[in-house]
Amino acid sequence: MYTDVVKGLSASPKSLPSKYFYDESGSELFDEITQLDEYYLTRTETQIMQQFSTEMAAEIGPRALLIELGSGSSEKTRTLLEHLEAPAGYIPVDISGDYLERVAHKLRLDHPGLPVLPLVADFTEPLVLAASTPLAARRIAYFPGSTIGNFPILEASRLLRRLRSVVGPNGGVLIGFDLVKSVETLEAAYNDASGVTARFNLNVLAHVNAALGADFDLGAFTHNAPFNTEASRIEMYLVSGRRQEVQLGDHAFSFEQGEPLLTEYSHKYTPDGFADLTSSAGLTATATWTDRGNLFCVQFLVPELP
């Protein structure tokens, strides 16, 4: 984390990796974001899951091992687990260990007999599953929430290639991604009127302070998340309200008044654009599900034949 943060703050423009949003407080704030009226993503994806889980389960097949990346509260996964035929196990993967264990404990109570094996890991790095991982008819990577949109296109392609390797030639990837829509709808989703997203964004500075001993003044930064039409992505920033210097170990980082600190991308895709991305990773869609308003999309991907 220290290396990542120093590298990001030394760059021009300055940035912080979005994975460091998710300490325990950040995970709880994100759960709060998903309940906001403006934040259509989770609500719409949940509706898709509820409407089409039977079809998704049929694509996945019996005795599958479900591996969820960035599992968070695992709420959407519950609907899927209820429809899977004799699942071999569930591996929720998340960077926030305490939060992950609480969620896993509740899932074990709600699904007795289902092996729930939480894995505290950074899924942007190669995943190493335990030797005790249950045998399964096939492995399925579940990647909901449009988290794939947080990665620049080349990094997203590399991540999908790693998932293809994890699931193997017989496996599959169930993935959610956000679709291009009006700028007004997109910007409202990331700049909510009640300021929850702003608190979530600022929490990354609190996390860096607590974990690494930095001295970010949270009151000296403000949240801003415009949509970049050319790049088809929301760009989330913390903007310095004054000239200031932040100390981190032996490093001092100067900010000018108005200087932005990039904390997250959230790419929005057209169906053709997402097909280009998955094809670059050697994956192809065998099933597609969307809501009536075409706000969001879930696809089932399988490795392309050689």
Tens of pLDDT along 134-176? 999 999 999 998 999 999 999 999 999 999 999 999 999 999 9
Q: And the tokens for 291?
A: 């809501």
Residues listed for the chain:
306
Per cent of the chain over pLDDT 90 is 83
Please state which of the four CATH numbers 3.40.50.300, 3.40.50.2000, 3.30.70.330, 3.40.50.150 is assigned to the domain occupying 40-181+270-303.
3.40.50.150
Contact assessment for residue 4 and residue 17, using Cβ atoms and an 8 Å cutoff: yes
What are residue 255's phi and psi, to 5 degrees? -120, 135
| In the block, residue with structure tokens 């695992």 | 74
Residue carrying structure tokens 């889980």: 53
What is the distance between the alpha carbons of residues 231 and 211, in angstroms, rounded to a whole number? 33
State how far the Cα of 206 lies from the Cα of 26, in Å rounded to an integer. Answer: 10
Phi, psi (deg, nearest 5) at residue 24: -60, -45
- Domain boundaries for CATH 3.40.50.150 within the chain: 40-181+270-303
pTM score of the predicted model: 0.91
pLDDT in tens, 95-133: 878 888 888 889 899 899 999 999 998 888 888 888 888
Query: CA-CA distance, 180 to 295, in Å (whole number)?
Result: 8
Query: Is there a cis peptide before residue 13, judged by omega within 30 degrees of 0?
Result: yes
pLDDT value at 72 more than 80: no
